[in-house]
Amino acid sequence: MVNSLTVHEGVGSPFIPFPSIRFRMKFTIELSERDLKFFRKALKKSREAVRHAEESEIIEAIGDVLEEIKGEEPLPDFVAKRIPKLDAMIRMLQDAEWNLPNAERERLLAMFVYFGDPEDIVPDHIPVIGYLDDIIMFELVICELHHVREAYDDFCDYRNAYEKNSQALQDGAIRRDHIDKKRQQLHQRMKRRLAKDRRTNKSTALW
């Protein structure tokens, strides 16, 4: 089976000598089973690194990497548009009330370890394409964990709506009870959907 990823390049490339020229390019990358083996092997190596490192150190390191990337000029649009998503994944990991289960934490952290490695499949210092493999890895992992992202988005929406109620903020114990129950519900939903996806897409699973 072949996985397909589509990358959209931004408008107005800084490498075109005529600033007035504006264009948009779209290309699709097809990943065969052989291609996926490279990324599985890289993720396995990253997961081993996660098990021998402090989570706080990994998050701090990827935060530094993202800040460095944000300051790069020119930063390809296909990288820039994914920075907010990476920031959101870090916030999810750090959200104590969400308390992401260990299996999903390890997978996200492994992706971040790979993303933060400057000498991965395509070295990051290569102009424009240096982050291409990182983006492919990011999209593969995020696609596989999309039920995790959906559950967390629903959790944040519920928490924000709850906290808009001024009466709810008057009793911390009641608030914790409501938040805990919602988190448990969403965790169960997330696990059911992830398990179903793994049974259905076993041949293309990363893990």
**Domain residue limits, the chain:** 3-204
The per-residue pLDDT for range 1-32, each reduced to its tens digit, is: 445 555 444 444 444 444 444 556 666 777 77
Q: Name the nearest CA neighbour of 116 among 145, 149, 138.
A: 138
7 - beta bridge partners?
27
Q: Give the total residue count for the chain.
A: 207
Q: Cα 179 from chain centroid? A: 24
**What pTM was computed for the model?**
0.75
Highest mean pLDDT among 18-22, 56-60, 75-79, 178-182: 178-182
pLDDT-derived band at 192 (thresholds 50, 70, 90) equals very high
Highest mean pLDDT among 86-90, 128-132, 135-139, 140-144: 86-90
pLDDT(89) > 70:
yes
Q: Name the nearest CA neighbour of 135 among 164, 111, 99.
A: 111
Characterize the bridge pairing of strands 26-31 and 3-8.
antiparallel
The per-residue pLDDT for range 108-138, each reduced to its tens digit, is: 998 888 887 765 544 555 444 567 778 888 8
41 vs 7 pLDDT, higher one: 41
Rounded to 10 deg, the angle between the 55-70 and 102-115 helix axes is 40
3-state class (DSSP) for residue 147 = helix
pLDDT of residue 95: 97
62 vs 180 pLDDT, higher one: 180
pLDDT of residue 38: 80
Query: Distance (Å, rounded) from C-alpha 25 to C-alpha 6?
Result: 11
Chain position carrying tokens 């519900």: 185
